[in-house]
Amino acid sequence: MGGEKERLLAEVSSARERFEREAGSVSLVAEIDALRIRYLGRKGLIADFFSRLAQLPPQDRPVVGKAINDLRAYVSAEIDRLRATAASQARAEVVFDPTLPGTRWERGRFHPLLQVLDEIVDIFTSMGFSVETGPEIETDYYNFEALNIPPNHPSRDLQDTFYLEGPHLLRTHTSPVQIRSMEKQRPPVRMIAPGRCFRKDTPDATHSPMFHQVEGLWVDKGVTFAHLKGVILAFAQKLFGKDVRIRFRPSFFPFTEPSAEYDFSCIMCKGAGCRICKNTGWLEISGAGMVDPAVFGFVDYDPEEYTGYAFGMGVERIAMLKYQIGDIRLFYDNDLRFLSQF
């Protein structure tokens, strides 16, 4: 058996010499691949060496095995080098033809949600509203307590919140920006707060755990519900056309009193009734109302001197109505076939 060890070592050494000769004569990618298969393939020469290793006595296997492994490592490195050389030569041989037509650049587009958000912001800034922003990671105080939502208030159950460590959470609406804005300045305050919000909603056709809102606030002397209705009507008609009508329905929000839900007349059927509006002639938009005097107490505004209104709207909701999209998840699937339509 000792002769078998020497014979196999001699064959391994001979294989390396033969590989060096063959490697020096190949240059094409196909030739390099054939060389790799011949030596490194599952039925190649090195695989055959390993299969014969089991026939040796245990004390001879480490020496012969090391020689075979060294050969395999050497062949692999040389194959990689030959491939790199062939690739660089191929690139160097490419000749530029100035008569060929150039590659057409694709024009980028804004995401449909950003397009709608920009349009909403433009409408309100044209009416004198400033744009304010705030952190997406909020404290319980700004997200709930300063908005007249104490720890045990039942309305907290309506907003499934992502809580973080300590007093922090992912904001469930952009209303905290209203509190922060009122803390920084005295009335008059006329602002909108666009931004992302987060709730533990199960994704479906109309819900998403991340969504966009635009909150609005106007605080000054003599602000009334009639001013709120006028601003919402002006916004609706600028966004969807002069024929749009609005209506308000009584509702409840902890931070406004009185509170209301507001609807737009259906932009598809002009109020006649259709599948989109469920034959009601109206499309539900969002909520609004007069700022509750209790909220003014958190920002040191005198409710006897100042009044104000607040409103909100979902950007996804507006975009779905504007573009007649039936599933909110389409905005987040990043399907270029969908996004390229806008």
317's tokens: 């909701």
Residue by residue, pLDDT tens for the chain (342 residues) are 457 888 888 888 888 888 888 888 887 888 888 888 888 888 888 888 888 888 888 888 888 888 888 888 988 998 888 888 888 877 766 667 788 888 888 777 889 999 999 999 999 999 999 999 999 999 999 999 999 988 887 766 655 888 888 889 999 999 999 999 999 999 999 999 999 999 988 888 888 899 999 999 999 999 999 999 999 999 999 999 898 999 999 999 989 999 999 999 988 787 777 777 788 888 889 999 999 999 999 999 999 999 999 999 999 989 988 888 888 899 998 888 888 888
The Cα–Cα gap between 140 and 281 comes to 39
Side chain identity at 230, as an amino acid letter?
A: G
Strand pairing class (137-139; 189-198): unpaired
**CA geometry: angle 324, 252, 305, nearest 5 deg:** 110
In 3D space, the residue among 71, 57, 59, 54 whose CA is nearest the CA of residue 9 turns out to be: 71
DSSP codes of every residue in 277-323: TTTSSEEEEEEEEEEPHHHHHHTT--TTT-EEEEEEEEHHHHHHHHH
Taking a C-beta distance cutoff of 8 angstroms, is the pair 225, 309 a contact? yes
Residue 1: predicted pLDDT: 47
The Cα–Cα gap between 109 and 285 comes to 27
Helical (H) or strand (E) element with 154:
none
Residue 312 sits at φ, ψ, to 5 deg, of -145, 165
Taking a C-beta distance cutoff of 8 angstroms, is the pair 298, 316 a contact? no
Residue 157: predicted pLDDT: 64
> Could you say which DSSP state residue 58 is in?
T
CB burial string 89-114: b at 16+ within 10 A, e below: eeeeeeeeeeeeeeeeeeeeeeebbe
In 3D space, the residue among 210, 219, 176, 238 whose CA is nearest the CA of residue 307 turns out to be: 219
Helix (H, G, I), strand (E, B) or coil at 195: strand
Residue 103: predicted pLDDT: 81
Residue 178: predicted pLDDT: 95
